[in-house]
Amino acid sequence: MDWQKEDLKYIWHPCSQMKDYETLPPIVIERGEGINLYDINGKCYKDVISSWWCNLLGHCNPRINEALKKQVDTLEHVIFANFSHKPVITLCEELMKVLPKGLCKFNFADNGSSAIEMSLKMSFQYHYQTGNPQKKRFMALTDAYHGETLGALAVGGVDLYSELYKPLLLDVIRIDGPDCFRCPYGKCRDNCNCECFEKAEEAFQKHADETAAIIVEPLLQGSAGMKVYPPLYLKKLRELCDEYNVHLIADEIATGYGRTGKMFAFDHAGVSPDIMCLSKGLTGGYMPMAVAITTQKIYDAFYDDYLKGKAFMHSHTYAGNPLACSCAVEVLRILKDENIIEKANKRAVYFNRIIKEKFLPLKNVGEVRSIGLINAIELVKNKETKEPLDSTKRTGYQIYKKALEKGVILRPLGDVIYFNPPLIIEEEDMDFVTDIALECVNSVLI
């Protein structure tokens, strides 16, 4: 069977212009192992983007495989209203050991965007039920990405995804977020005082009385091009939210589970959000699941006699799915038993060093930025002025295609080449994927 032809006959792939598939047809993957994926012809691809940032511990991890197999013979699913099961209770108990202080109530969904939707609704309803019905708007940063359902899209700020749908979206208060590469204050992220935070202060002074919550991707704005900003920004934001009675929602869907070098990005700042959204690495990339975790204070605002109408009437068919929960429990156990994050942080030093050595000398590399094992290389037209490349030339896409030929999955964000590999990547693979990326960048730009 011609699997590629059959795929194109039926499937509309996500985040793709399908006309591109005329010259780059879908790669049909048959199996995976570690950071490697193998297509139906046996060709190996190094998955250094963790299959959209969710594969945490490598493909077909033996321990997660076994946990999933064991669970499927016991219970595959059960309605989560008025019913529960051991895997989800165990998961909550294990998460409580690692979550930022104060987060203690778990509301489950089946994907990251849905967790964002839940957090927005929770915040609005909390304020409505505690005497502040005027708080019905949300704040978010420029260049934010929070998902692609309408509520999540509204608080996002990447026009590629949201521009067309603006007539359908919530009226969000947009704050100029940190742009450390092109800092308008002439500062450096490593030693600044977050002078850019004045934009948040101005927004709160004008709009806090009508604002329910501000939502942020802590420390790392992923889809914006892996933009990294300092922990001090989160500390200041926590203080501001407390002052104005505005919830702080942490979108840790892409930044949680060791991606930034700590279990959660908020751990770098030493403060806690009011609501935290998790997905992606939650199940190690095995099963669709997400959770919005909040405080006792927020939970208590919904706790009353049924006829008072204060319940949170939000549900997902697959909320708290036992199969996903079993995977998620095993992920936490592996992280602890095998010291995964600590080992990854040691290898991250090597990864960042070789990337800087190989790429910073290039005339079209404006910046190499890193946090944890994540490294991003921003390509520019002019190194001195930081002028971007001509987006119509799709330079990143040309590099992506060449890397695929050589067995590396890069999938750049515009003209930002990045590495966001499983936490178990070894130095030998780091050498290989960076050599291939360098070769492809040079072949396209020189």
Residues 127 and 251 in one domain: yes
User: Are both 30 and 118 inside the same structural domain?
Assistant: no
Query: In sequence order, what are the residues at sequence separation of 6 or more whose Cβ sits closer than 8 angstroms to the Cβ of residue 350?
Result: 427, 430
Mean pLDDT of 65-77: 98
pLDDT in tens, 252-292: 999 999 999 999 999 999 999 999 999 999 999 999 999 99
Q: Are 35 and 72 contained in the same domain?
A: no
Report residue 297: phi and psi, to 5°.
Answer: -60, -45
Do 307 and 390 have their domain in common?
no
What local confidence, expressed as pLDDT, does residue 140 receive?
98
Domain boundary among 317, 337, 357: 337
Strands (E), 296-385: 365-371, 374-382
Q: 213: which DSSP letter?
A: E
315 and 368 housed in the same domain? no
- pLDDT value for 160: 87
Q: Are residues 275 and 350 in the same domain?
A: no
Claim to verify: residue 210 and residue 264 sit in the same structural domain: yes
pLDDT band at 108 (very low <50, low <70, confident <90, very high): very high
* Residue 329 shares a structural domain with residue 344: no
- Domain membership of residue 257 as a residue range: 66-337
Specify the number of domains making up the chain: 2
Asked if residue 401 and residue 320 are part of one domain, the reply reads: no
Question: Do residue 287 and residue 321 come from a single domain?
Answer: yes
What CATH code is carried by the domain that includes residue 435? Answer: 3.90.1150.10
Mean residue pLDDT of the chain comes to 97
Which of 322, 337, 352 marks a domain boundary? 337
Residue after which a domain boundary falls, among 337, 363, 397: 337
Tell me the two tokens of residue 445: 């730009």
pLDDT for 271: 98
* pLDDT tier at 302, thresholds 50, 70, 90: very high
112 and 28, same domain (yes or no): no
pLDDT, mean of residues 343-353: 98
How many percent of the chain have pLDDT more than 70? 100
Residue 446 confidence (pLDDT) above 90: no
Q: Is 445 within 8 Å of 437 (Cβ atoms)?
A: no
The total number of residues written for the chain in this structure: 446
Query: What is the domain-level CATH number for residue 134?
Result: 3.40.640.10
pLDDT, tens digit, 9 for 90 and up, residues 357-400 = 999 999 999 999 999 999 999 999 999 999 999 999 999 999 99
Same domain? For 12 and 74 the reply is: no
Task: Tell which residue, 253, 300, 294, has the closest CA to residue 274.
Answer: 294
How far is Cα 33 from Cα 6, in angstroms, rounded to an integer? 25
CA distances from 54 to 13, 97, 170, 271, 290 (A): 18, 22, 28, 25, 12
In the block, tokens 């598939």 appear at 21
> Residue 425 CB: number of other CB atoms within 10 A?
23
